[in-house]
Structure 1
Amino acid sequence: MNNYIFDSHVHSNNSFDAKDSVKELCEWAVKNEIQGFCITDHLDINDCDEVMERSIIKSHEETREASEIYGDKLKLRVGIELGQPLQNQQLSERILREFPCDFIIGSMHNVKGEKDFYFMGKPDFQHRLEELLTKYYEEYYEMVKWGKFDVIGHITYPLRYIEGNFNIKVDMSKYNEIIFEMLKVAVDKNVGIEINVSGFRQPYGKQFPDFNHIKEYKDLGGEIVTIGSDSHNRFSLGQHFKEGKELLLEAGLNHYCEFENRKPKMISIL
């Protein structure tokens, strides 16, 4: 198996919940023979203000500066994780114009009018599970139809907390119809999916999304798949790529992608 690692989902300390600077991430990557990564700091549209926009400007400036320093040792790309874009579509459109990127992850962390799943407690999931997940995937489906991003981020994100933290089992078959339709729209719009391997280092214990979603995307003709650690510190940068590559091979894909100037480049796994 090819040992090449390009991590497409990495947060610097320009994200509110991350620890290490771009420079610290770069030094760790070079030391640990990671070939490249994209800084995808949070830009959650429902919480976006001047402070968050300044953080993204700083993130992009620091990434470009680091690319000048480490460019002969490391591929560095500029990106964002665009959260909940349809909760203010006009603002999302402006962000896309004013913040040129190599790569954009389209993510959903919360349903419109609700807290991020990260901040919800066990009673929320015990009493409102089906309501929350139905609304979540309905909004996600509309987001993919809008489709002005490169890959769909961590499609089963809520399970990180529902199953991983609170051990509440979710019957995902209830939501597979809309998820599969979402994947069909993604293939038609040339939008990819990510294998987010952060779950392997968390109580959840596996990747996002489920394997059957990866396989369905491939069977629908999808070819654009990235692997992301969703790292929030240098120690998890590039972790669990072996598991991500094995999942792709099992699904029938022998490559994953890195992005530059919003264009996917295939990386052979073999």
Structure 2
Amino acid sequence: MNKYIFDSHVHSNNSFDALDSVIELCEMAIKNNIDGFCITDHLEVHEYSEEYEKSITKSHKDTREAAILFKDKLKLRTGIEMAQPLQDIKTAEIILEKFPCDFIIGSMHSVKNEKDFYFMEKCDFEHRVDELLTKYYEEYYEMVKWGKFDVIGHITYPLRYIEGNFKMKIDMTKYNEVIYEMLKLAVNNNVGIEVNVSGFRQQYGKQFPNFEHIKAYRDFGGEIVTIGSDSHNRYSIGENFKDGKELLLEAGFKCYCEFENRKAKMINLLK
């Protein structure tokens, strides 16, 4: 298996929930023989404010400066994790113009008019889980139809909390019809998917999305797939990368991708 590691989902301390500076992330990545990564700091579109504008501006500045500093040792790319763009499309369009970068993850952390799944308690799910997940995937489908991003981030994100934290087993077959239509649309719109391996470090214990969704995207003709640790500190950059590669090989992929200037660059999984 190719030992080349390019981690496409990393947060610096320019994200509200992350700990380490870009310089600290780079130093640890070099120490751990990671070939490159993309800083994809949070931008929750429906909550966009001056603070987010400052944080992404600084994130990109820090990343570009570090890319020069470590140019002979590490590939470093600018990115954004742009969440809930459909909840304020006008602002999302402004953000795309304002922050040109190498890579954009399109993700969803919350359903419209609901709090982030991260902040929900078990009681929030007990009587509404089907309603919340139905709305979640319907909005995700519409987001992919809009499609002005590079990959769909952590498609099964709510399971981190519902199944991982609260041990509530979910029958995902209820949502597979809309998820599969979303994946077909992604293929047609040249949008990729992310294999987010952060779940291996959490109570959930596996990747996002489920293997059946990774396999379905490939079966529908999809080839654009990134691997992301979703690291929020320097110690987890590149962690469980081998698990991600093995999942892709099992699903029938021959390559995974890194992005530069919003263009996918294929990395052979074997060579």
TM over 0.5: yes
Quick one: which amino acid aligns to residue 115 of structure 1?
K
- What are the within-5 Å matches in structure 2 for residues 33-182 of structure 1? 33-182=33-182
SS of corresponding position for 1:247 = helix
Aligned mates of 2:246, 2:254 — CA distance in 1: 9
Give the superposition deviation at 1:32: 0.6
Distance, in Å, in 1 between the alignment partners of 2:27 and 2:141 is: 38
Q: Which amino acid is 1:9 matched to? A: H
- Cα distance in 2 for partners of 1:37, 1:171 equals 34
Aligned residues: 270
- Secondary structure of 1:163 counterpart: helix
Instruction: Please report how far the alpha carbon of residue 218 of structure 1 lies from its aligned counterpart in structure 2 after TM superposition.
Output: 0.3
Runs of 5+ in structure 2 lacking a partner?
A: none
CA root-mean-square deviation = 0.4
* Paired residue type of 2:77: R
Distance 1:170 1:9 in 2: 26
> CA offsets, 1:139-189, max 9 Å, x none?
000000000000000000000000000000000000000000000000000
1:5 aligned residue:
5
Q: Which runs of 4+ in 1 moved over 2 A?
A: none
3-state secondary structure, aligned to 2:140: helix
Amino acid at match of 2:219: D
One-letter code of the match for 1:21?
S
Which amino acid in structure 2 is aligned with residue 236 of structure 1? S
In structure 1, the gaps of 5 or more residues are none
Q: Report SS of the residue matched to 1:266.
A: strand
Amino acid at match of 1:67: A
Aligned to 2:214: 214
1:231 aligned partner, one-letter code: S
Give me the whole-angstrom Cα distance separating, in 2, the residues matched to 1:249 and 1:31: 27
In the TM superposition, what is the alpha-carbon distance from 1:103 to its structure 2 partner?
A: 0.1
User: Structure 1, residues 219-269: CA drift from partner, whole Å, max 9, x if none?
Assistant: 000000000000000111000011000000000012100000000001111
**How far 1:206 sits from its partner (Å)?**
0.2
The residue that corresponds to 1:21 in the other structure is 21
Q: 1:200 — aligned with what?
A: 200
Q: CA deviation at 1:42?
A: 0.2
CA distance in structure 2 between the aligned counterparts of 1:194 and 1:86, rounded to whole angstroms: 19
Give the Cα–Cα distance (whole angstroms) in 2 for the partners of residues 53 and 180 of structure 1: 34
Tell me the SS of whatever aligns to 1:157: coil
Offset, 1:47: 1.2
Q: Percent identity?
A: 74
Structure 1 length-normalised TM: 1.00
Letter in 1 for 2:210: D
SS in 1 for 2:127: helix
